[in-house]
Amino acid sequence: MSQYTEAIVLGLTAGFIARLYMLRTDYRNYPSYPHGYIIHLSLGAIAASLAAIALPALLEEEYTAITFLVLCAQQFRDIRNMERETLMKLEENTLVPRGMDYIEGIAKVFESRNYLVMLVALVTSGTVIYGGFSLGILSGIGMILLARFLMRGSFIRDIASIEPGRLHFEKSLLYVDDIVIMNVGDPAAREKILREGAGLMLHPYDDDGRAVLNNLGQRQALLHDISMLVGNKLEIGEPEWSPAARKNMETGALAIFLMPNEKDMGCIIEAAKRTPVLESAVQKPLASTIGKEAAD
């Protein structure tokens, strides 16, 4: 297989770079640095090497290479369980948790990234074999960018408009615009909420967006991401400061209340816009005939 050395090396390199390009630590606090990096980069290198060798092995009629690919795929499925267990343990010490739907989505992402690495390595090595080294380099760069694009999902800004909501009380009931959030009995707490609290109103663009915002896991993801980005004054044993999301049953609009560290509405709105739409929350009633007729 010495004649395929360039293809294997370039395929492995492109796959590893793709995994490195897709790996980041952000406000979601995962993967941890540096141990999480070591785990995921090592698995990425393994995936890239197996995929880069696969085509040369088949051309040499070494069909046992398929067996190794199947075993590798099984190991990558175990990654989802590892990510899920790790994040569930982190939930125990989080004041505003991600929620199970968010955790499951993150676990799926980490599994799928290894398959993208294999695709990048396989296409790159195949291009070198059939098109030459220079074309292989271009193919590798293109596949890395494609892998990055494929990892991008939808965000809340794609399904709903977001604007500030007016916090006010009717007796002891806290409202954001016309939506009841919760009962606050302490007068001092009500004054603090009006002074330092923030409210958001999310208006879905269509019934598909309304279905997403109706999902409890998506609401929890919104509360978590906003709290992570702008901070939250929530403390143990003080439910008055707990962020909450409630919907208008008639319109499907979603009201959010929180007590941010800094009451910068521009940053709070931007944090809400950047919250990802969870795969488990995606529903498309408008794609069905009944859904279209019901919306008319």
Range of the domain at 83: 2-150
Question: Which 8-state DSSP code applies to residue 277?
Answer: P
Rounded distance, CA 107 to CA 103, Å?
Answer: 6
Q: Which residues of the chain have pLDDT under 70?
A: 1-2, 24-35, 65, 286-296
Of the candidates 150, 177, 210, which is a domain's last residue?
150
- In this structure, the answer to whether residues 113 and 74 fall within a common structural domain is yes
The confidence score (pLDDT) of residue 29 equals 47
Tell me the C-alpha distance between 80 and 92, whole Å.
19
**What does the pLDDT read at residue 50?**
85
- Co-location of 201 and 260 in the same domain: yes
Residue range 106-124, pLDDT digits in tens: 888 888 888 889 999 999 9
- State the pTM of this model: 0.81
For residues 85 and 184, state if they share a domain.
no
The DSSP element (H or E) to which 286 belongs, if any, is none
- Residue identified by tokens 């009995």 is 185
- Give ∠ CA 269-222-85 in degrees, rounded to 5: 145
Q: How many domains does the chain have?
A: 2
| Site of tokens 């990055």 | 148
Tell which of 130, 150, 170 closes a domain.
150
Show Cβ contacts of residue 145 under 8 Å, excluding neighbours closer than 6 positions. none
Tokens 């293109």 map to which residue?
142
Domain-ending residue, one of 99, 126, 150: 150
- Return the pLDDT at 294: 60
Six token digits for residue 17: 């770079």
Query: At CB < 8 A and 24+ separation, what contacts does 142-149 make?
Result: 143/14, 143/18, 143/119, 144/14, 144/17, 144/18, 144/21, 144/120, 146/120, 147/18, 147/21, 147/22, 147/116, 147/117, 147/119, 147/120, 148/18, 148/21, 148/22
Question: Quick one: 38 and 108 in the same domain?
Answer: yes
**Are 163 and 24 in the same domain?**
no
Model pLDDT, residue 176:
95
Give the length of the chain. 296
Residues in CB range of 58: below 8 A, 6 or more apart:
65, 66
Q: Are residues 262 and 133 in the same domain?
A: no
249/199 same-domain check: yes
